[in-house]
Amino acid sequence: MPLARLARETDVGLRTLERWHARYRADGYAGLETASRADTGSRRLPPDLVHLIEGLALSKPRPAIATIHRKVTGICAARRWPVPSYSVVWDIVRTLDPGMVTLALEGAASYRDKHELVLRRQAELPNAMWQSDHTMLDILVVGTDGKPARPWLTTILDDCSRAVCGYTVFLGAPSAMSTALALRQAIWHKTDPAWPMCGLPDVLYVDHGSDFTSDQLAHTAVDLHIRLIHSTVARPQGRGKIERFFGTINTELLATLPGHITEGHPWPTPKLSGYVNPSGAHFDNLSWPHIEQSVEAHRVRRSARYVS
């Protein structure tokens, strides 16, 4: 087809088609690719002006782009710099390093939580490392005194398989005794054949709660030849696996039970009542069949990975 006819039918200029045709004859399809500009990504602004815009964007409280542009326009007029457009100012602010923005505007703690690299701790074998922690459950029950109460859950989790090795549900603040009950259950053989988790871990990974730093737990760890490791203070990333398990319990397994607490809604009237577990009655250890069944459902799903 003649190029003149093609130009009339496509509304593309004849000179443009001739140029494309010459590129194709010389380099094939590669000649038709749009070449990138040599100055792509660079700006024709004085470096001091770019630094000024970045400094204004990183100041607290962070001004709006329009405010930055107005200030820069006045400074440019005084120093006889080229005045950047609003879009150029916006592009400079947009391309700032997110970590630097977080550090400047939110502080070192926020930067550490959002951008600092975290060592991913991963046990290679079951019982190489256990994690233990507490959480207050998002459910209201009737306590032994007849008043509404939120129970606590202490869990021992295997790091490799994420299987629940032991747990206890109780009222009142976490203590060394509630931790000891969960640890005892984790170590001993279970009567349920579908719950094979038992034995002694090489490492027990805990936080800095008073029960985890108690002399009782330290002596127990020494007697059983368990290495006790405490996580770094104010670094929840190191306990992500057990925190995720707690989130699953609260948001998925307890959501169907009466008395479940939903954020943004009034607290419900408790309907589940506690009974005293005979094995822990001396320690005032309380448990609820429905709540324990929720933990059991998650525990069974993880058992296969523990023994595989």
Number of domains comprising the chain: 3
Q: Which one is predicted more confidently, 134 or 308?
A: 134
pLDDT exceeds 70 at position 34: yes
Average the pLDDT over 170-191 and give the result.
89
pTM metric for this prediction: 0.57
pLDDT of residue 269: 82
Helices (H), the chain: 3-10, 14-27, 47-57, 65-79, 86-94, 98-106, 108-115, 176-187, 215-223, 240-248, 289-307
Is 120 within the bounds of a domain?
Answer: no
Co-location of 57 and 146 in the same domain: no
Co-location of 204 and 103 in the same domain: no
pLDDT of residue 279: 38
Average the pLDDT over 90-101 and give the result.
92
Q: How many whole angstroms separate alpha carbon 254 and alpha carbon 231? A: 28
- Which of 66-80, 105-119, 285-299 bottoms out in mean pLDDT, i.e. has the lowest? 285-299
- Strand 141-142 and strand 148-149: the pairing is antiparallel
pLDDT exceeds 50 at position 75: yes
pLDDT tens for 242-273 read 888 888 888 888 888 888 888 888 888 887 77
pLDDT of residue 283: 29
Is 235 within the bounds of a domain?
Answer: yes
pLDDT of residue 146: 82
pLDDT exceeds 80 at position 285: no
Co-location of 141 and 254 in the same domain: yes
Q: Which one is predicted more confidently, 296 or 150?
A: 150
Q: What is the CATH number of the domain that holds 98?
A: 1.10.10.60
At 202, the pLDDT band (50, 70, 90 cuts) reads: very high
Backbone angles phi, psi at 217, to 5 degrees: -70, -35
At 287, the pLDDT band (50, 70, 90 cuts) reads: very low
Alpha-carbon torsion 89, 90, 93, 94, what sign?
negative
Is 54 within the bounds of a domain?
Answer: yes
Range of the domain at 99: 47-115
Average the pLDDT over 31-40 and give the result.
64
pLDDT of residue 265: 82
